Amino acid sequence: METPLYSALLNHANAKPLSLHVPGHKNGAVFLKEANHLYRDILHIDVTELTGLDDLHDPQDVILAAQQLTANVYGVKNSYFLVNGSTVGNLAMILSTCEEGDEVLVQRNSHKSIMYGLQLAGVKPIFLSPKMDEEYHVPSYIEIETVREALDLFPNAKALILTSPNYYGLSIDLKEIVTLAHGHGIPVLVDEAHGAHFIIGNGFPPSAIEAGADIVIHSAHKTLPAMTMGSYLHFNSNYINQETIETYLSMLQSSSPSYPIMASLDIARAYLKGIIDDKKQGDIIKSVKDVKTYINSISGIEVVESIDPVVHNDPLKVTIRSTNKLSGYQLQELFEANNINVELANYYHCLCILPLADSSFIINKLKHLNLSLKKTERPYKIKAKSQEQKGKRIQSLDIPYSHLKKYKKRIVEMEKAVGYYSAEAIIPYPPGIPLIIVGEKITTELIEKIKELLELGVNIQGDHHIKKGKISIYMK
């Protein structure tokens, strides 16, 4: 399988050159002795923009070739390697498409990086509330009727920003929505971070790329064999200026990009193409089904599947809930007690992400889980009925981003914040979807949700005063 960037790095390392350049570890010659056994091999390819290794910010050789091979696999005009995660891709696609004051339609259950991009661009976000999934009790997808209504209410909107799939792997075919948006002359930007593998088809959900989206962001490191922070930006638009995208990527990405991360993106693409060429999709699907069947045979737990007829469940995302009234957090504890780390937990269940490969080895590990569950009797009473955000289906911020500088921040007790506007984003992490966004009105219900999350020990990013029972608000 062709891997131009990785092969060039390998040839460089095999030549064992003398390093008189950055980084300071000098191809691993200078390193802490106690850590050298873990890092020594990777340090040989942790280099800089040397002759023959190309430049991410002006690719003309092996990086360009690797990116072109990626674009070919995904069937797009251009693909770009991201070394700062999908976050930098989300920021770049928003800043490249929207200008200050533009009205932009945005899915409310988007990742925090989308919200930050909107704030940086100074746009007027119009938030579209997603449908709640009955089985998962989490926000799922934006309905076509919601998009149609939003386009009628805001005919001057400059872009539609969607998140698909959600963190739990639930997605829909976006073709109809993309066609509708293009009919109104606006591009569709999709954070498909968890769907980098969808393009292989044959049992996997349809990709936003196949639906005709203009820009699609993929966190390759989430489901493909790429290093953490390795992501792709796929460009396939007639509405957006390609040079503008490249300019923002150059501005936002590190001027010293990681070659190990970039090489892993080259490798991940080759791995993906190998699955397609060898038609291994069916084997992977069968392996996943075997794991799910085994989980369902364990007393006390079961696999959750959406019953929504239009929803596609990503086979790699396995959501597990208790049949013995345990919370997802308690299930997570039980898994960890058996030395099994899950992706995340919430009130109802915990999420596991299976590999894009034969998963049969997982069953042997799960055999130890059954005994632990039988010994556990700690029922947890769930207070919150769902993670649904109550309010209008289509709603804009009460305070435009451009006006926020006119307000002063004040830290108050959470109970006294009700009715005011949040000066900080409150983000349970994972999954990184803001419970409260900057400029959003704080309600009693939101305060109660924050308190419960804190009681459960959920990690909350954002306001540093939250754990002290306080929150930052805007006041005139």
Domain boundaries, the chain: 55-270, 281-374, 397-475
- For residue 363, pLDDT beyond 50: yes
- For residue 475, pLDDT beyond 90: no
**Which band of pLDDT confidence, cut at 50, 70 and 90, is reported for residue 74?**
very high
Beta-carbon count within 10 A of 451 CB: 15
- Whether 248 and 96 have beta carbons less than 8 Å apart is answered as yes
Give the pLDDT of residue 370: 62
- CATH for 55-270? 3.40.640.10
Give the pLDDT of residue 386: 42
**Which band of pLDDT confidence, cut at 50, 70 and 90, is reported for residue 111?**
very high
- CATH for 281-374? 3.90.1150.150
Q: For residue 332, give the nearest of 340, 361, 466 by alpha carbon.
A: 340
Give the pLDDT of residue 466: 85
CATH of the domain spanning 397-475, picked from 3.30.70.270, 3.30.450.20, 3.90.105.10, 3.40.50.150: 3.90.105.10
Cα angle for residues 309, 130, 239 (degrees, 5° grid):
100
Q: State how far the Cα of 309 lies from the Cα of 170, in Å rounded to an integer.
A: 12
CATH topology of 55-270 equal to that of 281-374? no
**Which contiguous run of DSSP H or E holds residue 175?**
helix 175-183
- Whether 31 and 39 have beta carbons less than 8 Å apart is answered as yes
Can you point out the beta strands (E) in 261-324?
301-304, 312-313, 317-322
Give the pLDDT of residue 359: 94
pLDDT per position as a tens digit, 236-246: 999 999 999 99
Rounded mean pLDDT, 458-475: 84
Rounded mean pLDDT, 163-183: 98
Q: Where are the alpha helices (DSSP H) in 298-368?
A: 328-337, 361-366
**Which band of pLDDT confidence, cut at 50, 70 and 90, is reported for residue 387?**
very low
Q: How far is CA 138 from CA 94, 135, 154, 237, 381, in A?
A: 25, 8, 27, 31, 18
Rounded mean pLDDT, 324-340: 90
Rounded mean pLDDT, 46-68: 97
Read off the pTM: 0.93
Of 458 and 410, which is predicted with more confidence?
410
- For residue 259, pLDDT beyond 80: yes
pLDDT per position as a tens digit, 195-248: 999 999 999 999 999 999 999 999 999 999 999 999 999 999 999 999 999 999
Give the pLDDT of residue 192: 98
Rounded mean pLDDT, 414-425: 91
Give the pLDDT of residue 456: 77
Of 387 and 457, which is predicted with more confidence?
457
Of 378 and 344, which is predicted with more confidence?
344
- For residue 385, pLDDT beyond 50: no
Give the pLDDT of residue 476: 67
Mean pLDDT of the chain: 92
Q: State how far the Cα of 240 lies from the Cα of 242, in Å rounded to an integer.
A: 6
Rounded mean pLDDT, 156-177: 98
Give the pLDDT of residue 463: 64
**Which band of pLDDT confidence, cut at 50, 70 and 90, is reported for residue 367?**
confident
Q: Which tokens in the block code for residue 215?
A: 């820009």
Give the pLDDT of residue 433: 87
Of 166 and 387, which is predicted with more confidence?
166
- The half-sphere exposure of 217 on its side-chain side, counting CA atoms within 13 A, is 31
- For residue 373, pLDDT beyond 70: no
- For residue 312, pLDDT beyond 90: yes
Give the pLDDT of residue 399: 79
